[in-house]
Amino acid sequence: MLGVGCFLCVCCIPAVFLKYCTAKRLEYTIAYNISNMTRRYINQLRDNEKVEEIFRISEKQLRPNKNGNLYLQCNFSDKTGMISARLWNATEEMFYGIDNDDYMMVEGTTQRFQGALQMIVKKMTKVDAAGIDETEFMRFHSVDVPKTRARLQEMLRSITDPDLLNLADCFLIDEEFMERFCKTPAGVKLHHAYPGGLLEHTTQMMEAAVTIARLYPELNRDRLLFGAFLHDVGKTAELSVEGEMVYTDEGQMLGHAILGVEILNARIQEAEKLTGAEFPAETAMLLKHFLISHHGLYENQSPKLPMTLEAMALHFLDSLDSKIAEFRKYMLDDPNLGGHWTNYIPGIERKLYKGDV
């Protein structure tokens, strides 16, 4: 039992059963078909509202308050959004009795805190995943992977620089890599945070790179286009492609810029074996510069500032595409339905105007 206990009883729901999980803890597990119930989604919740619903838990943390008492900090999500939650008077037994991506029957109350809606949890109980319709908890929109992947490949194979074209083929012919690339999200919370998000984000940047190169002939079109493909390639190792979007151990320790350089070095070696020729050292340096400078500013955790025309253009293309996706997500996830404005968003220090959308 998760500390505060189960708030549903066998006499109320015949499908409830008890299950002894380990020698260390006892948990109640609820098994039933969620499709027979009417859900109240996260984007429908309002301030000071009682909640009794099933959500997926993620980013669970056990923290002490100022008096040294433990509380559970976590996020709950469904297909419409995510809400931060706290459960006071938590225990280590409770914390280790649940895992990220578990489904939880939650009873609590919403409240507004620093402009954002959060939930104070009174009770929560793990739910057997066997009766869950997982589509109710998948927080992403559908990406047409075959069509988007085909367009990405088409643009890469339009490169005329033979060294870059050979290097591109080293990525494209690796089916295992490409499958992972097409499943990986581009982030865990803000922009393109869904399976296929990296593919979508990358392809949109490549489309923009082709357009920008036509407008500014001083830019090296092939190099900018390949840089757009390459800039986030390290996220295939940084982010998990299974379950909730989370960082891998490598991702936490190294980050996608360094992981991207490692991936690039390995592909350059492959290209050299396939062609029997040494890859141009200057080209390799310029490609690595894309990876370590595309965040643009030191305060954005960029190891280096952009130092070429193409690197500068790549940074702004990345920022443009990610910010449009981020703002769109804020608007879609906003609980203030029917209003012209979103609630105040602390992360960007403003409200956003939605108009009549």
Map out the domains of the chain with their CATH numbers. 16-137 (2.40.50.140), 145-332 (1.10.3210)
Q: Supply the pLDDT for residue 32.
A: 40
Q: What is the pLDDT of residue 277?
A: 95
Beta strands at 81-87 and 116-127: parallel, antiparallel or unpaired = parallel
Task: Encode burial over 135-160: b for 16+ CB neighbours within 10 A, e otherwise.
Answer: ebbebeeebeeeebbebbbebbeebe
Q: What is the structure's pLDDT at 339?
A: 75
What is the pLDDT at residue 119? 94
Predicted pLDDT of residue 140: 58
Phi, psi of 122, deg, nearest 5: -95, -45
pLDDT score, position 30: 41
Q: Give residue 160's pLDDT.
A: 97
- pLDDT tens sequence for the chain (357 residues): 344 444 334 344 333 333 333 333 333 344 444 444 578 888 888 889 999 999 999 889 999 998 889 999 998 988 887 788 999 999 998 899 998 889 999 999 999 887 678 999 999 999 988 888 887 887 656 678 899 999 999 999 999 999 999 999 999 999 999 999 998 887 777 777 778 889 999 999 999 999 999 999 999 999 999 999 999 999 999 888 776 667 889 988 998 999 999 999 999 999 999 999 999 999 999 999 999 999 988 888 889 999 999 999 999 999 999 999 888 888 877 766 667 888 888 888 899 998 875
pLDDT of residue 34: 44
Three-state secondary structure along the chain?
CCCCCCCCCCCCCCCEEEEECCCCCEEEEECCCHHHCCCCCHHHCCCCCEEEEEEEEEEEEEEECCCCCEEEEEEEEECCEEEEEEECCCCHHHHHCCCCCCEEEEEEEEEEECCEEEEEEEEEEEECHHHCCHHHHCCCCCCCHHHHHHHHHHHHCCCCCHHHHHHHHHHHCCHHHHHHHHHCCCCCCCCCCCCCHHHHHHHHHHHHHHHHHHHCCCCCHHHHHHHHHHCCCCHHHHECCCCCCCECHHHHHHCHHHHHHHHHHHHHHHHHHHHCCCCCHHHHHHHHHHHHHCCCCHHHCCCCCCCCHHHHHHHHHHHHHHHHHHHHHHHHHCCCCCCCECCCECCCCECCECCCC
∠ Cα 318 300 315 (to 5°): 25
pLDDT number for residue 139? 61
State both tokens at 311.
């690197």
Going by C-alpha positions, the residue among 107, 81, 109, 106 that lies closest to residue 194 is 81
Q: What is the pTM of this model?
A: 0.68
Report the residue count for the chain.
357
